[in-house]
């Protein structure tokens, strides 16, 4: 699959990455731009700095080292592990949708086969076709009940039902939708934890969110381990910053600006902290 229309963005992954935090605003913009270009170019870009500068609208000198350190460079091409994983998942979903569509097509074709003389009295094709139509209408009506219950943004019934039918197991899943939505509405009204904005119905279906389980009791801690891990990361980042600030202050007192320049050559991702130390000193 050469391109992907939508990507999964994790703000916490960016904001908790000390390398990303150390980048300048321009470097952050180039980093994100390269990731988006990878998504639209089958996960690969030629490792050509002149070409990258044109693509990212860079004028003048630019320090690529902090940016390119976040990518893998193999055989002259730039790649990114997360981009590769997302493209692979998109290809899997695409293949599953194609397989499901073929299966439904074949099933409908078999159902609409004209009768032969031997079974002419069993069921005329017109009657059989009407039975299939009634079955489809019943499925859509059942789906409409779930759609009406859903608490997020929704599109038209026909469009949502067509998207739902792309899942190979949609007939099995159909009776599970309404109970799952009821459970999630109950959880959202009871929990004392942060409740994220609801996804639109198409995303909820495509991500198979009817399988999600929530803790109904409002006094239960949800995702406590994840929050503890995030807190530990932030604590370590704060300690690292304080330690480097102390070290850079000592260098500045002993060697002045020249000492900080030497340090920045070896630690380009901490140039911003060197500038901060000099600003605090009044330079």
What is the helix (H) or strand (E) element at residue 74, kind and residue range?
strand 72-74
Let me know whether 32 and 87 are in one domain: yes
Let me know whether 34 and 101 are in one domain: yes
Let me know whether 141 and 238 are in one domain: no
pLDDT of residue 4: 63
Two tokens, residue 253? 């007192």
Let me know whether 140 and 87 are in one domain: no
Query: How many distinct structural domains can be found in the chain?
Result: 3
Let me know whether 170 and 258 are in one domain: no
pLDDT of residue 2: 47
- Residue after which a domain boundary falls, among 43, 77, 111: 111
pLDDT of residue 91: 80
- Domain membership flag for residue 116: no
Let me know whether 107 and 143 are in one domain: no
Let me know whether 247 and 260 are in one domain: yes
- Residue after which a domain boundary falls, among 78, 111, 144: 111
The rounded distance, in Å, linking the Cα atoms of 279 and 257 is 11
Interstrand relation of 77-79 and 72-74 (parallel, antiparallel or unpaired): antiparallel
pLDDT of residue 223: 56
Let me know whether 197 and 231 are in one domain: no
The rounded distance, in Å, linking the Cα atoms of 36 and 31 is 9
Low-confidence residues in the chain, pLDDT < 50: 1-2, 115-122, 216-222
Range of the domain at 243: 224-281
The rounded distance, in Å, linking the Cα atoms of 27 and 261 is 19
Let me know whether 205 and 246 are in one domain: no
């Amino acid at each position: 699959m050469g391109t992907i229309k939508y990507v999964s963005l994790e703000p916490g992954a960016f904001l908790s990455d000390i390398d990303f935090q150390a980048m300048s605003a321009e470097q952050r913009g180039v980093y994100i731009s390269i990731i988006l270009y990878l998504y639209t170019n089958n996960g690969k870009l030629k490792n050509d700095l002149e070409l990258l500068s044109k693509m990212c609208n860079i004028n003048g000198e630019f320090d690529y080292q902090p940016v390119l350190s976040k990518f893998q460079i193999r055989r002259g091409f730039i790649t990114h592990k997360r981009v590769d994983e997302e493209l692979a998942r998109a290809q899997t979903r695409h293949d599953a949708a194609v397989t499901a569509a073929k299966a439904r097509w074949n099933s409908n074709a078999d159902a609409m086969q004209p009768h032969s003389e031997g079974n002419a009295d069993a069921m005329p094709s017109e009657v059989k076709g009407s039975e299939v139509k009634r079955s489809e209408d019943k499925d859509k009506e059942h789906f409409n009940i779930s759609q009406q219950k859903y608490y997020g943004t929704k599109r038209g019934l026909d469009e949502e039902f067509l998207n739902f039918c792309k899942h190979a197991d949609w007939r099995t899943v159909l009776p599970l939708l309404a109970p799952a939505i009821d459970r999630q509405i109950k959880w959202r009204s009871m929990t004392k934890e942060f409740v994220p904005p609801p996804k639109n119905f198409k995303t909820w279906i495509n991500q198979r969110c009817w399988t999600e389980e929530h803790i109904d009791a409002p006094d239960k801690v949800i995702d406590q381990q994840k929050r503890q891990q995030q807190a530990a990361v932030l604590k370590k980042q704060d300690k690292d910053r304080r330690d480097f600030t102390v070290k850079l202050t000592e260098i500045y007192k002993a060697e002045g600006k020249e000492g900080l320049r030497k340090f920045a050559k070896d630690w380009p991702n901490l140039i911003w902290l060197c500038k901060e130390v000099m600003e605090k000193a009044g330079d």
